[in-house]
Amino acid sequence: MLKLWRWYQRCLTVHPVKTQVISSGFLWGFGDVTAQYITHSTAKRRLLRLTETNKDVDADAEFKVNWKRDAEFKVNWKRVAITSMFGFGFVGPVGHFWYEGLDKFIKLKLRYVPKSTRFVAAKVAMDGLIFGPIDLLVFFTYMGFATGKNTAEVKEGLKRDFLPALALEGGAWPLLQIANFRYVPVQYQLLYVNIFCLVDSAFLSWVEQQKDAAWKQWFTSSFQPLKERGGQGGV
C-alpha cells in the first residue's frame, strides 16, 4: 500500500493533470457500478417482498455482468463507460484547474491567510456556489444525451434530478471541504476530492437511475410555484 501511495505521489508530481484525469475516470466508473448494485439490491428486496403475496413474481434476479444495455438489475458496462468518460473528460481536468485556480485566487487576489477561517470559508462558499451546481448540471445533461435522450427528455430529467441532488449534496460537501481546505495540504486536496468523488459518483448515478421516485417528486414539487401546484392562494 505504501508503494502504491509513493507511486501515486510521483505520478501526481510529474503528470498532475493526467493523473487526475485517469484517477477520476476510474473512480467515477467504479462509483457507477456501485450505484447499479445498490439499485439492483433495492429492487431485489422489493421483489422478495412481493413474493410473499404473489408467488408468480420471479425473485431470482442475480447480480451478473451483462453487456446488454436494457438488462434489468445487472451491470450495464456501457453505462459504466459513459460515466467513466465524465470523470475523464470533465471531473479530472476541470477539477484539477478549478482547485488550483481557486487556491491561487483566494491567496493572491483576496489576500486571505492560508488555512485561516476566512480563507477556508471563502473556498467552501465559492466551491459550493460555483463548481457544485455546474458539476451537477454538466453531469445530468451529459448523461442524458450520452444515453440517447433528446433535448426535451434531458430538460425533463434536469427538472427531476437537479434540485434533489443539489439539496442533498449541499448538506454533505461543505463539511467535507471544510476539512479538506483546512487540514489537507494543497498538493493533496485533489486526491481528497477524488476519493470522495467515488461516493459522489455512486450517489449521482443512483439519483439518475431513480427516475421518478417519490422522494424526488417531493423535492421538485416543494420548489414549484403555487400556480404549477394547482393555483392555491393565487388568482
Residue 228 forms part of a structural domain: no
Residue 229 forms part of a structural domain: no
* Tally of domains within the chain: 1
Residue 193: predicted pLDDT: 80
Phi, psi of 233 (to 5 degrees): 80, 0
Contacts of 113 by beta carbon, 8 Å cutoff, 6+ apart: 119
Q: pLDDT of the chain along its 235 residues, tens only? A: 788 888 988 998 899 899 989 988 998 888 888 878 877 777 677 667 766 656 554 545 555 544 444 445 578 899 899 999 999 999 889 988 999 999 999 999 999 999 999 999 999 999 999 999 999 999 999 999 999 999 999 999 898 889 888 888 888 889 999 999 999 887 787 778 878 877 777 777 777 666 666 666 666 666 555 445 555 444 3
Residue 234 forms part of a structural domain: no
CA 32 vs. chain centroid, Å, equals 9
Residue 31 forms part of a structural domain: yes
Residue 52: predicted pLDDT: 62
Whole-angstrom distance, CA of residue 233 vs CA of residue 235 = 7
Residue 172 forms part of a structural domain: yes
Whole-angstrom distance, CA of residue 35 vs CA of residue 208 = 10
Residue 233 forms part of a structural domain: no
Residue 17 forms part of a structural domain: yes
What's the grid cell of residue 92? 479530472
Instruction: Decide: helix, strand or coil at residue 112.
Output: coil
Count CB neighbours of 196 within 10 A: 15
Residue 105 forms part of a structural domain: yes
The answer to whether the Cα torsion of 137, 142, 143, 149 is positive or negative is positive
- Is residue 61 within 8 A of residue 129, CB to CB? The reply is no
- Is residue 213 within 8 A of residue 39, CB to CB? The reply is no
Please indicate, yes or no, whether the overall pTM of this predicted structure exceeds 0.85: no
Nearest to 213 by CA among 181, 143, 179, 165: 165
Nearest to 17 by CA among 190, 167, 148, 227: 190
Domain encompassing residue 147: 2-222
- Is residue 55 within 8 A of residue 16, CB to CB? The reply is no
Identity at 79, one-letter amino acid code: R
The answer to whether the Cα torsion of 208, 69, 201, 33 is positive or negative is positive
